[in-house]
Structures are given as structure tokens and as C-alpha cells.
Chains A and B, each alone.
Chain A
Amino acid sequence: MSARLGRRDALITLASSFAALAGAGCARGGKDGEASLWFAYGGTNREVLLSLVNRFNAEQSTYRIKAIYQGDYFEALAKLRTAIAARAAPALTHVVGEVVPYLAQAGALLPIDETHPVTGDVVAALGQTGCFVRGGERPIVCAPFNRSTPIAYYNRAIFDALGLRPPTTWKELESVARAATVRAKDGTVTRHGFTCPIDWWFWVALVGQAGGTVVEDDGTPSLGGEAGVRALEFWQRLVHEERTMKPPPGRDYNAWQATNTDFLAGRVAMIWTSTAFLKYLETNAKFPVGAAPLPGDVRRSVPTGGTMFVVPTASSEHERPAARAFLQWMMEPRQANEWATRTGYLPVSQKGLAELEASGYYREHPNDRVALDQLKDAFAWPWAPSLFRIQREAVQPRLEEAVLVRRDARATLDEARRAAGEP
């Protein structure tokens, strides 16, 4: 009898243990005062962010942030959507600016107005108010984190040897790329004059420079009209006729990494990429790196990029105080400046920016100044929930096709417009 009871007891204990383990596994969130931060950087930027998180955790004992790497921006976004659907989102994460209106419309983001004393200090063009058309007329749901613009990087050694200056117009870009391209006797190119990822962000810059707008303020995907066609044909001409631009292999951030690698290896004389890679390129190049604003066509124009901090609605309520405390701390001038000066991203705090100016930082680091000066040419994105889908589904895959296999630019953009109009 006692043996049977013993077995039953053992079974009950085992079942209870499994239930407890399952419960622990399913329980959301950690201890009080703890919050998860999902982030999407590798390399130097990841190291800088982790060092800031460690400092936040060390400087006070009330809150603790657990930083969790989630792949690149788009992988992290895919995971975030799944986590939101499962009501298990982190208390704080960062997403690309273009997806904020979509997430906000879906009710996936909490307003972060209560942090306003700090977020109110942000550089206007980089926060929700200036980054989106009429962005200040709705609840603030995002705060600027790693914000950037595309800039031109050039190999100063090659440019000095050839007596070249960074181009200021498309025409100059063509001639500079031609002059910096080196061909072997059999005609194969051993060094390209120019490259940039065949990516929506750089195409948007070209469209703006050609005088167009990609998505109208009401969300209509005009894709720049004639300016869009001219932008695409400009790339096609550089790749196929001039053969001075190297289309980097791979998609998304693989192509961005390939662009950096080609530049550092001296296979390309000038690239366009994000200001985010400034410190990485300066540190790893075996030649002096120059930075310059993007050239203009009928005007100068650049999009802003990078990501915004957001607090998902589907996050655990008891994690939010820690998340908000960290968000406020990150927006303070000291941290905002440390993040900017150690990575190359733009400083997001107005007070912090004033401190940097006053300290003479930009006189000593003129490359850091380029993206900042370009902000006067930055345009505001429309607050269009369809913006992200237009980018990822309608335009991005077709740009690659148009440039690599030289598909008719007009037909490509007509098709992209139809795809963008799909519900």
C-alpha cells in the first residue's frame, strides 16, 4: 500500500514539477524593475550600445535593462511582429522610421509623451515631429535613437593622387567615377570609381535630387514620376554604359556590407552609405577616409534613416517603468553624444549638439559634420501606414531587377506603382 502511495506521490510531484516548469517558461517578463531591450546591430554599434546598457545598469540599482540581439533591422522587425501577435513583446525596441506609421495605425505602439521633457529636446529633423509630415499633430509614439543620412565616403589617397574632388552634381559624379575607375588591358574593371547598394534609401535620395517625391503626403505612391525614372536610369547608365559603378552582390544589409568591404579593400574609390559606418570605416581603412555630402541634380536632397525607439503595446506592464527610465537616460545629452561620437550616427539631443559644437568636436572631426550639415536638405516622410510596404514589397525588389538586368525603368516603376496600390 505504502509503495503504491509512494509511486502516486512521485507521479504527482513529477507532474507538478512539469507544470511549474511550463508555468515558469510561459511567464512573461522578468523581475520588477527589469526590462528587455531588443536591438538590431552588429559590430562596433553593438559594442557601443552594450557598453551604454552596462553603464545604465551600473549607475543605478532601481532598474535593469537586458539587451537582446535580434538580427538586422528587418529580422528584428519580423520577430517583433510575431512577438506583438503573441502578446510577448519587449518593453523597448527600435524600428526603422518608415514602419512607425504602420505600427502606430495597428495600435501596436504606446505613446511616450510622458518622457516629453527629454524627448522634447530632440533635434527637430530627427524626431517624430520633424521626421514625418505633421508628425507633431499626433501622439508621440517614437523617439530618435540611431538616426542617419546617406553620405559619400571617398578614398582620399586615390582622390589626391588623381587630383579629384568629391562631386557636387550628378554630372560631376559621372566624371569623378570615370576618372577613378581602373581597367585592365582586356577591358575588365579592376577598380570601380563608385558603388552604393541598390537600395530604396539611395534611390529615394536620387529621386529627391532629381526633383521628385516618392510617396506623397497623402500616402499616394507616385514614386517620383519622371524623377523616379531619371534616378533609375542614372544607376543603369553608370552600371551598364559607363561601367564605373559596381552593383554590390547580395540583398539588404549583405549588399551594404559588401559595399563597405569593397571600399576598405580599395576595389572602389567612392561609396554611398550611411553615416552609421563612419567610425567603422575610419578605423578599418588603411587609407585616409574622406566624407562628403551627396551630390545634387536639380536640387540637393537626402532621406533620413536609421531607427526610432518604440514601446510596444503588447509588452509587459511591469517592465515599462524600466524601459522608460532607460529611454529617458539614453536621450540625455551625455549618452546621446557618446552614442553619436562613437558610432557616426547623428546626435539627437539639441543640448548635446550644442555642447559638441562648443567643444570644437566638429573642427577636429570634419567627417562627423557632413551628415549634420545635410539635415537642411532632408525631407519629412509622409505619415503613411503603407510606406513600409511600398518600400519593401513594391519598390525594393524591382530596383535590383531594373539595375542588374537593365529592365526598362519606366515599365519597372509603373509595375511598382501598381504593386504599391494593391490592398
Chain B
Amino acid sequence: MKPKRPLDPYLFLAPTALVLGLFFFWPLALVFKNSFYRWDMLTPPEWVGTANYGQLLASGELWGTIGRTLSYSVVVVVTSLGLGLGLALALDRPGKLYAFVRGAVFSAYVVSWVAVALLWMWILDADGGLLSTLCRSIGIVPKNWLGDPAVALYTLAAVSVWKITGYSMVIFLAGLQDIPRSLHEAAALDGAGPISRFLHVTWPMLRPSASFVGTTSLILSFQAFDVVRVMTQGGPVKSTTVFVYAIYEHVFVNLRVGRASAMTVAFFVLLLGLTALQLGSWRLGRTGARRA
């Protein structure tokens, strides 16, 4: 069958394609091109082939940055998921007090990253900070939370968890409210205890919410920049230089657009790989569910 107006589908697609092309594919192509040049934005670019990628691999910078970013992300995703679920289960009750606590937990999510970072810098100050003072008052020698290379990355992860846990909680609360009460009642009549009811009723019904929270937290943790920029500037000793901050440092501090572009391409490939893994596991889960 010959369509009467063959151009119409393309015309409908055009606005989206234009926006995607202009703001996503075109910059991506430019970044890919720039990764083969040495360029400082002021002098003409010089073709260097794959030297930027070679340098990133040979110096160990790429693997170091991937390792730090993944460590940060794992802590942020796992902890915010666990805490969000726990809080949702604890606060899924009627009453003004519960509503107030739910609101208080979620409020951290709407505060800007810069404000959160400044607040936590004050709390975590090694000498006069609230946490260090509390530690000293109970006889514990406080850590240098932001100044110790072994601790700083996990301190930043903890701050991020504090900020985004409210978001996880809200998604889980929405998921919990979608579970019909009759399922819990039927399970209780069959003799299932609270743990059994959670494992066999609540958790299977919450899996889509958990998957959504996991994906969005992962994206958020991979985009970490503000908290690093304000609290540690990638230090001490590069221990908090995660991917986006490393790209920023190369282009704006070291004047190396080519190397920053190579880092960006590597970042893109890493995210593509992680997305493929996630899609794969999601499809496997759906097939398994259908078979069951």
C-alpha cells in the first residue's frame, strides 16, 4: 500500500530529531572528533591520532578514575536504595507525625547541591566541625573526613546518600501504596509472618520501583560534580576525582580539550556498557517472570 502523504511521519519526527541532533548527537560527534586532537581552545588544534587515549591508558588515569567513580556509585546506589526502602517501610503509616518525618527526609532532596555541600563542610570540619566535636565528646578520635585520602571519597558518598535517600523513599512509598492490602491479609491468613510477607509479597511487588530507583541513583552518582567541586576539588591526592570532575579538570585547569574529550568518550562507552547490562538483566528478569 502506498501512503498518501509519505513525508508526514518524518515531519512529525523532525522536531525531536532536530533537538536530539543539535543538543546530543552533534556535540557527541564534536567530542569524538576533538579526542583525536591536541587543542587548548586558543591555538589551532593539532592532529595527534589516538595519543590522548594512549596517554589516559598508559598513565593509569582512566582506570583510576573508573575505579573511584564505580566505588562512589556503588556506595551511593546501594546505601540510598537500602535506606530509602527502610524509611519507606517504617513511615508508610497514617498520621501527622509520619507525614512530617516523610517531608523532613524528602526536604534534603530539594535543597541545592552547593548548599548541601557547604552545610556538610561545616559539619565535617576536622577541627571545629559538629561531627568531630561530637566524636571528641564521647572519647573517639575523629577522622579528617575530607582531608584523609582513604576516607574522603566515602565521606562524599555519605553526603550524597543523605541528599538522595528522600527521593528513593518517596518512590518506594508510591510503590508500597500500590500493593493491594488484600494480598497482605491473605498471606497473613496463610500464616506468613512480617518477614515472609515482605519477602514474598512486598519485595516482588516493589521490584519495578527498586529498578527505577537504582537506575536514577546510578545516573545521579555518575554525574557527581557539584559536591566534589565545592567540598574537595578532586583531592586530597586525587582521591575524589570522579569522572565528570576529571573531565572538567582536563579542559578548564590543564587546558587540554583533546584529553578531556577522550575521557568523555570513555565515559560514554562506560555508561553505554552499564546501560546494556542493566537492559539485559531487566529483559532476563521479565523472561523469568513470564516462565514462572
Contacts and interface: CB of A to CB of B under 8 A. Distances in A.
Interface of A: 74, 78, 81-82, 84-85, 103, 106-108, 186, 188, 247, 249-252, 254, 262, 265, 267, 388-389, 392-393, 397, 400-401, 404-405, 422-423
A74 B249 CA distance: 11
Contacts of A252: 233
B146 interface: yes
A188 B232 CA distance: 24
Contact of B238 (A106, A389, A397): A397
Given A106-B43, A404-B149, A78 B236 contact: no
Interface stretch (B5-13, B179-187, B251-259): B251-259
Nearest to B55: A422
B234 A262 contact: no
Interface residues of B, number: 26
* Chain B interface helix/strand/loop/mixed: loop
A249 B236 contact: yes
B233 A254 contact: yes
B175 to A, nearest CB: 41
B42 A247 contact: no
B237 A81 contact: no
A249 B144 contact: yes
Nearest to A84: B42
Interface of B: 38, 40-43, 55, 126-128, 141, 144, 146-147, 149, 232-238, 252-256
A393 B42 CA distance: 18
9 contacts: A85-B41, A250-B232, A251-B232, A251-B236, A254-B233, A393-B254, A400-B236, A401-B238, A405-B149
A401 B234 CA distance: 12
Contact of A251 (B38, B43, B141, B233): B233
B253 A249 contact: no
Given A265-B127, A392-B253, A401-B238, A84 B41 contact: yes
- 9 nearest A-B pairs in the assembled complex, by CB-CB distance: A249-B147, A78-B252, A106-B42, A251-B233, A85-B41, A393-B254, A401-B237, A251-B235, A106-B43
Contact of A82 (B38, B41, B234): B41
Contacts of B149: 404-405
Given A249-B144, A393-B254, A400-B237, A103 B127 contact: no
